[in-house]
């Protein structure tokens, strides 16, 4: 875990910050000195455990429940939360949904929910960040497959592709006060309901023939949060998986 970054006095919001990779990011920010608010949807117990761990470090933390697919309510929720915290210096858009669907059975409901969680709600929070009127940073959590195909997670893939575009566009639009970057993890944790052997079988799909850890993703997030001369970039934490070719030619 990176310890060189110093975020003492900084205030961060991590969506999906109570468990899995989001938990590692929340704890890493707190270790580096930040106070951390944690958004969750259904994982209240996990979020509270993570918040308690942060409080144990002497940092401020609170949990906040919000369904990010309810886009019309997100702006008011985020504005109220931000006022209570007197603004945020760091926003980590980590909340996600990983539905199994394909282009044969993809429904409007599935796609609309994914776009709300991955694109529209992050966009609303980014616009609110601009209103704070201070230098800050945003890090979006993508997926290494944003440059490749993922035909069995169609709605998720389209949502993450949208978040990639949003990262680039908002980096240009929110400059110079707000930096917007992204981290794209590869093989880190097995999906919900899958066992460790699921991910072990896939090690050969990346150049390093191994898997990463949530802390390695958190390290990349901390680096971008503190790198004052970087914006519009994506760090792939994927063992080189993205170098194996791009379905989209980029």
Which are the catalytic amino acids? 156
Two tokens at 246?
């791009």
Identify the CA nearest to 91 among candidates 162, 34, 155, 165.
34
Place of tokens 């270790």: 31
How many CA within 13 A on the CB side of residue 30?
A: 26
Two tokens at 174?
């929110």
Tell me the DSSP string of 96-118: -----B-TTT--HHHHHHHHIII
CB 170 within 8 A of CB 127: no
């Amino acid at each position: 875990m990176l310890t060189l970054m110093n975020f003492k006095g900084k205030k961060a919001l991590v969506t999906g910050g109570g468990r899995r990779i989001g938990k590692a990011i929340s704890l890493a920010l707190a270790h580096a000195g930040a106070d951390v608010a944690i958004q969750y949807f259904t994982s209240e117990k996990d979020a509270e455990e993570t918040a308690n761990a942060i409080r144990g470090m002497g940092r401020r933390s609170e949990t906040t429940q919000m369904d990010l697919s309810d886009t019309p309510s997100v702006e008011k929720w985020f504005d109220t939360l931000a006022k209570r915290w007197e603004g945020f210096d760091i926003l980590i858009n980590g909340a996600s949904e990983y539905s199994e669907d394909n282009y044969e059975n993809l429904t409007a409901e599935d796609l609309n929910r994914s776009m709300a969680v991955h694109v529209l709600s992050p966009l609303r929070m980014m616009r609110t960040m601009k209103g704070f009127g201070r230098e800050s940073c945003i890090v979006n959590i993508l997926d290494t497959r944003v440059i490749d195909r993922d035909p069995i997670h169609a709605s998720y893939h389209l949502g993450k592709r949208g978040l990639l575009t949003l990262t680039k566009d908002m980096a240009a639009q929110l400059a110079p006060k707000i930096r917007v970057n992204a981290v794209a993890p590869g093989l880190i944790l097995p999906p919900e309901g899958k066992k460790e052997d699921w991910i072990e079988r896939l090690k050969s799909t990346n150049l390093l023939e191994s898997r990463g850890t949530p802390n390695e993703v958190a390290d990349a997030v901390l680096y971008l949060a503190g790198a004052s001369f970087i914006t519009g970039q994506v760090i792939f934490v994927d063992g080189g998986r993205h170098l194996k070719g791009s379905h989209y030619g980029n």
